[in-house]
Structure 1
Amino acid sequence: MTQKYAFTTVFSESGEVLRDGDRVRRILTEEEVAVVKAAAFEDGQASETARAAQAQADAVRAVASQMQLIFARLHDESETLRAEAAELALAAAGKIAGAALERHAADTVAALAAEMMSELRGEPRLSVHCAPELEAPLVELLGEVASQCGFEGGVTVRGETGLTGADCRLEWRRGSVARSGEEIEARLTELVGKWLEQEPDDRPARNSAPGEAGAADTHAA
């Protein structure tokens, strides 16, 4: 015969109530309580560590993003400053060179003529076109230059409207050579522009010039 379970009060050996009718009270030992506390503490620590790590990671990402923006800004400003410095240097060099050539225009033309006479000793004639104000001084100067270079051909000097300063044009039977301050300046500007377009790592060393412009262009006849 099945006996119904009686929900009566149950006592422990020490006399404490373990179950009182329909209510059940569980008693934990001190060791069990310590284990539960330790587990809860570890869970809490792990959660705090995870939150701290996440916060640090977010902070690092934010700093990295800001640094990228700063570096990009600095790169743009550096390129702008580099271009402005190059333009300023080019303008200053042009003014200095222009002033020097104006002061020594006749000597500059004579130097170019001397170079050509040394290479054209077999030519019967060399024509030198220059600024009108240089015609008279160059007639005397080029006579001495021809003698020094061993050039036995005839040398004619003609002042030409439109040529200024040390601008000149030398002609002989099979060719000609011209020197123009504007053309040299244009070539320098082009070289500086190409230099600025290069990446910094591809540019020549700081003690090297971005390029050198020749003093004249030779056109074959």
Structure 2
Amino acid sequence: MTDIPHRKFSFDTVFDDNGGVAYAPPRVKKTFTPEEVEAAKAQAYAEGERSAVARAEQEAAQALAEVAHAVQQAFETLTHVAHEHREGSAMLALACARKIADAALSHFPEAPVTAALEALAREVESQPRIFVRVSPELEERTQQALENVAAQIGFQGQIVARADGAMAPAAFTFDWGDGRAAFDPDGAAQRVAEALEAAIAAEGLHAEPLFT
């Protein structure tokens, strides 16, 4: 007797009580038409294309984020550079102004004291005498300049210019009994420099934005 190999019975098909088929598993299709093959290929291609587009969009978004970060860093660097440039420009302007002022005072050292008398005209108009201290080399020049200004503003009192070896050129003290005024070119320049440095420090990096 020939042995016939037994095939395991798979309980795929389900029968009802009357012997009819209650459930039959779908047959696995082993052959496809050319149209079905093309449709499957088209579907696979479309799914692959969507996946590639999604990856490209993700990579583009990441690249844009990196660009935005780089631009932000560049703006911060430019802000620092602009602040340093403003500070350098301000200090250069101050140095130039100091040079110009020094040159002007060397040519017209009596200008500050005559300007002071003009500015104080109403303050000193009733004073009988004004004492002015200046550097020794400017005593006579200052006396003459103040007398000229006094005549122009109608000051009737006496002006006395006195030499003071401690006074720098163009510096002076003004004393009229009820008040006093003084000017020191070096001190004034120092105060201007300190005020400018304080303004720059207060501004910090909060100046007008470079880009809007």
TM-score normalized with structure 2 length: 0.76
Q: How many residues align?
A: 183
Any conservation in 2 of the 1:169–1:176 contact (CA below 8 Å)?
yes
SS across alignment from 1:128: strand
% identical aligned pairs: 32
User: For 1:59-78, what aligned pairs fall within 5 Å after superposition?
Assistant: 59-78=63-82
Any conservation in 2 of the 1:131–1:162 contact (CA below 8 Å)?
yes
Any conservation in 2 of the 1:118–1:150 contact (CA below 8 Å)?
no
* Residues 133-181 of structure 1: CA deviation (Å, up to 9, x unaligned): 1112222332232222221222211111221121111012221111111
Q: Cα 1:123–1:30, aligned 2, differ >3 Å: closer, same or farther?
A: same
Q: Which residue number corresponds to residue 13 of structure 2?
A: none
Q: Which residue number corresponds to residue 15 of structure 1?
A: none
* Residues 168-212 of structure 1: CA deviation (Å, up to 9, x unaligned): 11012221111111222123213322432323239xxxxxxxxxx
Q: Which amino acid aligns with 2:143?
A: V
Is 1:123 equivalent to 2:127 in the alignment? yes
Query: What's the Cα RMSD here?
Result: 2.5
Q: Which amino acid aligns with 1:116?
A: L
Structure 1: how far apart are the matches of 2:127 and 2:79? 57
Q: Which residue number corresponds to residue 11 of structure 1?
A: none
How far did 1:131 drift?
1.2
Q: Which has the higher contact order (CA 8 A, sep 6+)?
A: 2
Q: Which amino acid aligns with 1:133?
A: E
Q: Which residue number corresponds to residue 188 of structure 1?
A: 192
Structure 2: how far apart are the matches of 1:69 and 1:165? 52
Structure 1: tracts of 5 or more residues without a match = 8-23, 203-221
Structure 2: how far apart are the matches of 1:135 and 1:47? 94
* Residues 72-129 of structure 1: CA deviation (Å, up to 9, x unaligned): 1121111112111111110111011111112101233223223323432111221111
TM-score normalized with structure 1 length: 0.74
Structure 2: tracts of 5 or more residues without a match = 1-5, 10-27
User: Which stretches of structure 1, 4 residues or longer, exceed 4 Å deviation after superposition?
Assistant: none
User: For 1:142-161, what aligned pairs fall within 5 Å after superposition?
Assistant: 142-161=146-165
Q: Which amino acid aligns with 1:40?
A: A
SS across alignment from 1:97: helix
Q: Which residue number corresponds to residue 55 of structure 1?
A: 59
Q: Cα 1:115–1:25, aligned 2, differ >3 Å: closer, same or farther?
A: closer
Any conservation in 2 of the 1:118–1:151 contact (CA below 8 Å)?
no
Alignment match of 1:97 (pick from 95, 101, 104): 101
Q: Which amino acid aligns with 2:80?
A: D
Is 1:111 equivalent to 2:119 in the alignment? no
Alignment match of 2:136 (pick from 132, 136, 156): 132
Q: Which residue number corresponds to residue 18 of structure 1?
A: none
Q: Which amino acid aligns with 1:200?
A: A
How far did 1:25 drift?
6.7
Is 1:85 equivalent to 2:89 in the alignment? yes
